[in-house]
A and B are shown apart, each in its own frame.
Chain A
Amino acid sequence: MRPRSIIEKIWDAHLVAELGDGQALLHVDRVFLHELTGPQALAALAAAGRAVAQPALVFGVIDHIVATGPGLSGSAREQAGAAFIRSFRDLARRAGVRLFDLDDPRQGIVHVVAPEQGIALPGCTLVCPDSHTCTVGGIGALAWGIGSTECEHAVATQTLARRRPGTMRVEFRGRPAAGVTAKDMILALIGRYGAAGGASRAIEFCGEAVAGLGVEARLTLCNMAVEFGAWTGLVAPDDTTIEWLAGRPFAPRAAHWEAAVAHWRALATDDGARWDAQLDLDCAALAPQVTWGTSPAHVVGIDGVVPDPAAAPDATARAGIERALAYMDLRPAQPLAGLPIEAAFIGSCANSRLPDLRAAAALLRGRRVAPGVKALVVPGSTALKRAAEAEGLHRVFAAAGFEWRESGCSLCFHSGGDSFGAARRVITSTNRNFEGRQGPGVRSHLASPLTVAASAVAGRIADPRALAPR
């Protein structure tokens, strides 16, 4: 058999039928829904008189609109949001799909919960009407975001029709220095090759720097494959993955574990496999990254400066940079480090997992958020929030002046209601710095949780490498 990449292997193992024109009908092993985009899919399905084909393979969570204030009371972040929660509950119950509701300890951000519960597995296909579904590639799944209409197709048939994707291998060479994280690696990649650099391809992330990452960091890396313009991204499963999955609630039980592991190990890309494109990035000299503009590609090292639009390659790019600088209230050649911030946010499907919280807490221990800075930390799931509390991390955050919230998507995006208040410039561990994403007029600087913590303490964008962990 000719050598194949991990992407081709997963694709071939899910092929139900070739449809011609390069399209294939692919089996979907797992469907996740959330309350913002799930109700439309289930409602349309019911209106068409159709049923969910395989309810046991479909899961729902409430994460997007729920208020993350104390107690997950079930209220929404804004008044209209309650209708989404009610509608989703009702539709999920009638469709017979499992819902991790607000009182369920398995509740959390959909892309945090899927691997944490062992529902997303290496080599499986997983879809969700949410663009950051690619996050789950960190476990070695082929996972991608879809719209509500495609989601209706997925639950009605447990398949999706798709054109075979182009493939790309991205090698992260070298070992990143202390204080440089998976978030910095993926931001640097997007900065170097552009927000459409992934060219709608399926990417395997590999290399020494990836092999050295824990599973949570690999989830962070894959989270922003969509910001890179890729169809999706994944990391091949290895010993790290297999150890991490063992014993998780929905992971294969004893009778199937050995067979599953053998299957996962065989997914590794064969020597000589063909790729449509190959890129690389040296991580050894990488600095922590911070965005300056309104696209994740608008990024520089923390020791860098805001670019000059005059140096842009063409008129459209120049206009784009000028517009971003106007929105961000920045000038060409201005240094990023030292820029005063008014709020700091740690959370989202990009960076809200236990190692993120531990690393940020280690910088915050015995330190205080600068006066006037509103600081929030929102754990990615109820389960990991409890685990963090068992370690006392919530006390470290609280003592430092961070608000410790319940799990959910929270201020990764503004949906009305909950907001950063009067704060305009925000340093954030999220994945999107689009105009208005975190609130009307809010200027978002994307960075790692370490950089967010260091900046919260300084009251200015600050290099976490200058602060010793405690």
Chain B
Amino acid sequence: MERFVRLQALAAPLLRPNVDTDVIIPAREITSPTRAGYGEKLFSSWRYLTPDRRPNPDFVLNRPPFERAQILLAGDNFGCGSSREMAVWALRQFGFRCVIAPSFGAIFQANCHRNGVLPVVLPAAVVEALGAEAGAGTLELDVDLEACTVGASGGRVFGFEIGATERAMLLAGLDEIGLTLARRDAIAAFQARDRDARPWIWSL
């Protein structure tokens, strides 16, 4: 997995609450059973006008300089709804490496951790203030996963919390499956005990 250590980049504001994964990547845009090709489809219902798919000039990511933003400032419960991991793939393939919000949909947040995208939880008031500032297109943030801080101009530093496991996974770009397979003896021992304790689970 792609590592995330530190990122100094432009932030884009999208502070609506409850932005769901159907909006991040509509189901009709999921047209291939592979992981590629989602960047141009990110937020397509908002980003493009129908019927000719012209860019909507009013949508934030269509306005320079936000096409090069790598940090998204988002509203409460960002990424709620469908578990579709294409939502994270679309954000990443557009160029985002970090989403900052007051809270996240749980499955979306877990999917971020497994795709080298850092979900940062900051208080709503901080996100709103940064979001208001970001509208001018000049807000550069310094997201440091080793220090667990978000730095902004004027020496402002906001600390954030993240699980030690998720942090280690992102910092090192770990292969979680490989780590678990190294415990195959413990898994086999559990399963041997469980076949005795709950044989009906195994007699399919």
Contact = CB atoms under 8 A, between A and B. Distances in A.
B199 A259 contact: yes
Interface stretch (B2-10, B90-98, B140-148, B187-195): B187-195
Contacts of A22: 163
B18 interface: yes
Contacts of B31: 78, 80, 83, 416
Q: What size tier do the contact residues of chain B reach?
A: 35 or more
A265 B31 CA distance: 45
Contact of B28 (A48, A158, A231, A416): A416
B186 interface: yes
A455 interface: no
B81 A131 contact: yes
Nearest to A323: B16
Contacts of A152: 177
Given A161-B165, A435-B23, A435-B45, A25 B186 contact: yes
B1 to A, nearest CB: 9
Interface in B1-52: 15-18, 20, 22-23, 26-28, 30-35, 45, 50
Contacts, number: 188
A68 to B, nearest CB: 15
Contacts of A317: 17
A196 B187 contact: no
B22 A156 contact: no
B41 to A, nearest CB: 12
A5 to B, nearest CB: 19
Interface string A115-130: 0000101001000011
B129 interface: no
A163 B162 CA distance: 12
Interface stretch (A143-151, A335-343, A381-389): A143-151
A319 interface: yes
Interface string A159-174: 1010100000000000
Interface in A7-38: 13, 16-17, 19-23, 25, 27, 29, 35-37
Interface stretch (A235-243, A250-258, A456-464): A250-258
A147 B124 contact: no
A195 B77 contact: yes
A21 B168 CA distance: 11
A167 to B, nearest CB: 15
A397 interface: no
Given A19-B165, A27-B190, A195-B80, A316 B17 contact: yes
Given A148-B85, A157-B181, A83 B103 contact: no
Contact of A147 (B20, B22, B45, B107): B107
Contact of A316 (B124, B198, B200): B124
A22 B201 CA distance: 27
B183 interface: yes
Contact of A414 (B27, B103, B197): B27
A468 B80 CA distance: 38
Contact of A146 (B23, B107, B201): B107
A149 B85 contact: yes
A159 B180 CA distance: 8
B186 A36 contact: no
B84 A121 contact: no
A50 B27 CA distance: 29
Interface string A314-337: 001101100100000000000000
Contacts of B199: 256, 259
A295 B88 contact: no
29 contacts: A19-B165, A25-B186, A25-B187, A35-B33, A36-B30, A37-B85, A53-B187, A57-B204, A78-B31, A83-B33, A84-B33, A87-B33, A119-B204, A145-B83, A147-B111, A148-B85, A149-B111, A161-B180, A196-B77, A196-B103, A229-B77, A229-B105, A250-B204, A316-B15, A320-B16, A413-B22, A432-B22, A436-B45, A440-B50
Interface of B: 15-18, 20, 22-23, 26-28, 30-35, 45, 50, 75-77, 80-85, 88, 103, 105-107, 110-111, 114-115, 124, 128, 163-165, 176-177, 180-181, 183-184, 186-187, 190-191, 194, 197-204
Given A40-B85, A252-B200, A256-B203, 18 more contacts: A16-B186, A19-B165, A25-B186, A29-B201, A36-B27, A36-B30, A131-B82, A131-B107, A149-B111, A161-B180, A163-B165, A259-B199, A294-B18, A297-B18, A316-B76, A323-B16, A416-B27, A440-B50
